[in-house]
């Protein structure tokens, strides 16, 4: 993915300040330059280890610090995960994302995680995981297993971050993204709207993402799902137009990234979702639940797609970036044939 120009906070804030119709027109124009506007990438997210997380993210019902009534569950069996992946594929998903409520995975969990990646990959689906912070060796192991994407959200701006999370730093998150990218895994990273942040904070988040050495291939934009028992349960509702603006600015600043409507779709009207697609969103999570929060069912999404003339993007993958590089390296070292002289040898 080609690097975008360096963005300043002032430039991002200027986009947020544009008249709504002008911003929408610019975002849709940029979107059509890089994507088919009728195609939506469809992913499914499964919680493979739920609750009892030691982090203190104020929005998260999975934190062990808050009484939300959520029952903690151990890491799922590999067979259970693969069964869920098969159902997701049959329902139309092309990417299967697996999330675990950890600060970071333990090395003893890695063999099971690798088997999950390998099993989903064998189905011809793209693979994604979100497991918290990673060491370099863990990132390399997941890459070797065939992991396509790793999700690790920045959540908000560096300035507002400390008001939401204190158990890991912003730099910790950036370091994990560096390790993921260094291992040859594609990056999925975005944030949340509705944490109590300002417009400047939303702009600051998008500046951080757009100015990474390589922008994320996937940028999930979440609307806060307020859960009783979390510190943000009484936050103000997010204005739909403010949310749509955030989608539009993300599209303009990261023109080649998939911008995903993530958490919060359950509380969005069809009209709000349609405007988000118009603003450049071209990826959704599919299925009745996102980790622990509600999500529109597949039938609702298919009905909306029909109304809007949208289609689920068809994509199958049989090798991750590292595997493809290894295959290419093997070809380069192959012996000459009658038709081919290998000048790389």
Active site amino acids: 53, 57, 60, 97, 128, 188, 260
d(CA 213, CA 271): 35
Contact in structure between 220 and 151 (CB atoms under 8 Å): yes
CA 119 to chain CA centroid, nearest Å: 21
- The two three-digit tokens of residue 123, written as one number: 């189905």
| CA 192 vs CA 16, 87, 223, 243, 301: distances in Å | 16, 28, 6, 10, 22
């Amino acid at each position: 993915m080609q690097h975008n120009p360096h963005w300043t906070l002032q430039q991002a804030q200027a986009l947020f300040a544009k008249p709504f119709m002008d911003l929408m027109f610019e975002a849709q124009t940029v979107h059509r330059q890089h994507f088919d506007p009728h195609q939506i990438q469809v992913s499914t997210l499964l919680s493979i280890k739920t609750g009892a997380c030691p982090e203190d993210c104020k929005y998260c019902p999975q934190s062990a610090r808050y009484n939300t009534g959520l029952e903690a569950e151990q890491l799922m069996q590999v067979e259970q995960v693969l069964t869920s992946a098969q159902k997701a594929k049959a329902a139309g998903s092309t990417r299967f994302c697996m999330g675990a409520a950890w600060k970071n995975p333990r090395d003893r969990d890695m063999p099971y995680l690798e088997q999950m990646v390998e099993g989903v990959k064998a189905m011809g689906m793209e693979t994604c995981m979100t497991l918290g912070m990673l060491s370099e060796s863990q990132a390399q192991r997941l890459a070797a297993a065939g992991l396509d994407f790793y999700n690790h959200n920045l959540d908000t701006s560096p300035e507002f971050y400390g008001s939401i999370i204190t158990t890991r730093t912003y730099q910790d998150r950036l370091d994990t993204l560096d390790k993921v990218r260094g291992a040859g895994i594609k990056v999925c990273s975005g944030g949340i709207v509705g944490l109590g942040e300002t417009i400047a904070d939303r702009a600051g988040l998008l500046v951080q993402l757009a100015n990474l050495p390589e922008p994320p291939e996937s940028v999930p934009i979440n609307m806060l799902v307020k859960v009783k028992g979390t510190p943000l349960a009484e936050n103000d509702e997010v204005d739909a137009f403010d949310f749509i603006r955030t989608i539009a600015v993300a599209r303009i600043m990261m023109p080649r990234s998939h911008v995903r409507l993530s958490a919060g779709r359950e509380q969005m009207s069809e009209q709000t979702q349609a405007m988000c697609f118009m603003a450049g969103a071209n990826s959704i999570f599919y299925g009745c639940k996102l980790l622990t929060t509600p999500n529109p069912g597949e039938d609702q999404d298919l009905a909306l797609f029909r109304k809007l003339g949208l289609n689920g993007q068809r994509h199958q993958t049989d090798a991750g970036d590292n595997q493809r590089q290894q295959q290419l390296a093997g070809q380069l070292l192959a012996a000459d044939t009658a038709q081919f002289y290998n000048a790389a040898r």
